[in-house]
Structure 1
Amino acid sequence: MRSFASDNYSGVHPEIMQAIISANEDHMSSYGADPVCAEAETLFKEHFGQQAKVFFLTTGTATNTLILRHLCKSWNSVICSQDAHINVDECGSPESMGIKLMLAETENGKITVETIKPLVPSEPDVHRAQPAVVSITQNTELGTLYTVDEIKAICDFAHSKGLFVHMDGARIANAAEALGVSFKEMTVDCGIDVLSFGGTKNGCMCAEAAVFINPEAGENFEYLRKQNMQLISKMRYVGAQFKALLTDELWKRNAAHANSLARKLADKAGKIEGVKITRPVEANGIFAIIPGHAVEKLQARFPFYVWDEQTGEVRWMTSWSTTDEDIENFCAALKELI
């Protein structure tokens, strides 16, 4: 099966799988107290600073939710996009932990200082949940990117109001590669306090990380991780994946491949009569509208998601393992069905 449904559908990158196999030799200390995890943490610190606190987890939902739970008291709230993964796609996980989400209006998936302002009271109000965090997704759920200047503006405003800024970086590698910037330039230099660093969508297997760039924000997070069943006994297998991903810029090579094939798919499919590319293609996501009669037949051959049932908008995702042949075959089938 060749899929355009999600970069989650792709397998594990061979270099990462080999790293897992290599970590499978002999005995090692458990719960992350092993040399493989130590090497991976060192690589993270090279990108995010020696002050950064790094915690490995296994799912994006757990990473996002536990970070927000850690930063919020019971009377706090989190400001996010109405399209945010934490709002739409995590089965109420933040709410199940008592985290109130306050939804800011978006344009192409992005919130701005202007859309955040109405949700931040000018004075403390005992009758309202008090915002504690602004959460942004990079790249967004609609495939768009925050520029470095846009991220910095949000961080500056949030910090002026005493709020933390969290970045959901499930596809952070795709964003950094597409913008032509380093992780540091897009996070540390902008003022991001804490990051959900995604590995799974970029060639890993059950590998995510909470990176507290602001170390004070990460104090005692290890206890919350344990309490919520995300402290993995054989953590070396997660650490090994990040060690491989952050060595020789594998993260960048994988992301560059996915991004370039997304552009190719958008260009080729967009020339087919009856296909409309609906949003900017800035990373590895393509949004389009195609004739309704072709959707299910095409999905049967190449799985993908209908993004908006009302408008008929669909989403196609490319990954590190998407090939030129996949693009050719997909577009040929699309043209034939139309």
Structure 2
Amino acid sequence: MTEQHTSGVHHFASDNYAGAHPEVLAAVAAANVGHVPAYGDDPWTARLQDVVRAQLGEQAVTYPVLNGTGANVLALQAMLPRWGAVICTEAAHVNTDENGAPERVGGLKLLTVAAPDGRLTPELVDRQAWGFGDVHRAQPGVVSLTQATELGTVYTPEAVRELCDHAHARGMRVHMDGARIANAAAHLGLPLRALTTDCGVDVLSLGGTKNGLLLGEAVVVLDPSAVVGVDFLRKADMQLTSKMRFVSAQLVALYEGDLWLRSAGRANAMAARLRAGIDAIGSLDVVQPTEANAVFVRLPAHVARALRRRWRFYDWDAADGTVRLMCAFDTTEQDVDELLAALADALDDAPAPEGGAPATP
């Protein structure tokens, strides 16, 4: 193990880097008692149904799964026939970070559109919502939006409702990738159902891992008429875990009270602190609004190199130097302030010329 993995450094690469929340670990330990039926026929999974209905409405049916890719593939596969297609942004996780799983496992076609701020609009949807009835074209059947988006932006309830109404009017359903829906809700100060059920979203991939779980997400069916065969597909897609109580117990711990909101709110607050500090420096270009728990900023190459001596973070656009700095539920003010101080120091240092020798004053 390298030093940066053993020193307790909190990195800024991804909220997936964070460990599990202590309350989640306690819930797993509490579920580790005796023998209970497997494959979801257990008290924790039954309790999860009630917990999610309290958050999202009485029609909600919850299917715990192992990971976000599995949740998205299962949801989309259950919503579409074999000839169906999904409209999403070019930056959508289902398009860029799931190794073709919607196509390979789900057998679906992704129809992508460019969205500079990560958010779909009815006008962008219509760039791919055509060819209905044409046997030569995969049939658009689902609009998939991400909340919060991969660019750290957030859809308002009005924007989600407009998309849902637009899609439904054209005979399409709406899926929401809610891996970071808690961050979106925390930013807007709204309950989860105000961004989903109340807006007309049909199926939600409900996040967990990015907000303090060991592992686990859930497919939440908000309109039962929007899906077919979820139970069978979950098994076929290798997302039906035998000891499901341990996934369900984590989700109960996250969503029964306000842990989801406390954790997401903390991550958002740290991103806002980081953004304010970068703005105060004054010489860097932040390329997206900071609405959830991510900051996208262009860094000179020598600055990025200097910061990477201690922290990990991802290049977003290597061509122009844009990087993503992500905060998590366990990011602290000290973590942010140390990064900002190192950033300011690196900007003050003149870049070394080729060959690594110090620059001449």
State whether TM-score is above 0.5: yes
Q: Partner of 1:268 in structure 2?
A: 277
Q: Partner of 2:60 in structure 1?
A: 52
Matched length: 338
Residue 63 of structure 1 aligns with an amino acid whose one-letter code is A
Identity score, percent? 44
Structure 2 gaps, min length 5:
1-8, 348-361
Please, which of 19, 27, 34 is the counterpart of residue 35 of structure 2? Answer: 27
Partner-residue secondary structure (3-state), 2:49: helix
- Partners of 2:274 and 2:46 lie apart in 1 by 39
- Partners of 1:41 and 1:320 lie apart in 2 by 25
Please, which of 82, 88, 98 is the counterpart of residue 90 of structure 1? Answer: 98
Kindly indicate whether the alpha-carbon contact (under 8 Å) linking 2:15 and 2:328 is maintained by their aligned counterparts in 1. yes
- Partners of 1:93 and 1:220 lie apart in 2 by 19
With over 3 angstroms needed to count, the CA separation of the structure-2 counterparts of 1:274 and 1:292, relative to structure 1, is farther
Kindly indicate whether the alpha-carbon contact (under 8 Å) linking 1:53 and 1:218 is maintained by their aligned counterparts in 2. no
- Partners of 1:59 and 1:233 lie apart in 2 by 15
Q: Partner of 1:42 in structure 2?
A: 50
Displacement of 1:122 in angstroms is 6.6
Output the TM-score relative to the length of structure 2: 0.91
- Partners of 1:209 and 1:306 lie apart in 2 by 29
- Partners of 2:28 and 2:231 lie apart in 1 by 24
Task: Flag as ranges the 4+ runs of structure 1 deviating above 6 A.
Answer: none
User: Which moves more between the two structures, 46-55 or 197-206?
Assistant: 46-55
- Partners of 1:237 and 1:218 lie apart in 2 by 26
Please, which of 63, 83, 86 is the counterpart of residue 78 of structure 1? Answer: 86
Partner-residue secondary structure (3-state), 1:206: coil
Kindly indicate whether the alpha-carbon contact (under 8 Å) linking 1:8 and 1:201 is maintained by their aligned counterparts in 2. yes
User: Which moves more between the two structures, 83-92 or 274-283?
Assistant: 274-283
Kindly indicate whether the alpha-carbon contact (under 8 Å) linking 1:274 and 1:290 is maintained by their aligned counterparts in 2. no
- Partners of 2:282 and 2:311 lie apart in 1 by 19
Q: Partner of 1:7 in structure 2?
A: 15
Displacement of 1:123 in angstroms is 4.9
- Partners of 1:150 and 1:237 lie apart in 2 by 35
Structure 1 gaps, min length 5:
none
Partner-residue secondary structure (3-state), 1:74: coil
- Partners of 2:162 and 2:227 lie apart in 1 by 23
- Partners of 1:305 and 1:140 lie apart in 2 by 16
With over 3 angstroms needed to count, the CA separation of the structure-2 counterparts of 1:2 and 1:123, relative to structure 1, is closer
Q: Partner of 1:173 in structure 2?
A: 182
In the TM superposition, what whole-angstrom CA distance separates every residue of 1:161-186 from its partner, at most 9, and x where no partner exists? Answer: 11110000000000011011111111
Displacement of 1:72 in angstroms is 1.7
Kindly indicate whether the alpha-carbon contact (under 8 Å) linking 1:193 and 1:214 is maintained by their aligned counterparts in 2. yes
Output the TM-score relative to the length of structure 1: 0.97
- Partners of 1:281 and 1:216 lie apart in 2 by 36
In the TM superposition, what whole-angstrom CA distance separates every residue of 1:214-243 from its partner, at most 9, and x where no partner exists? Answer: 112244201000112111111010011011
**Where does 1:235-250 land on structure 2 (aligned, <5 Å)?**
235-250=244-259
Q: Partner of 1:214 in structure 2?
A: 223
- Partners of 1:122 and 1:290 lie apart in 2 by 43
Kindly indicate whether the alpha-carbon contact (under 8 Å) linking 1:170 and 1:201 is maintained by their aligned counterparts in 2. yes
Displacement of 1:273 in angstroms is 4.8
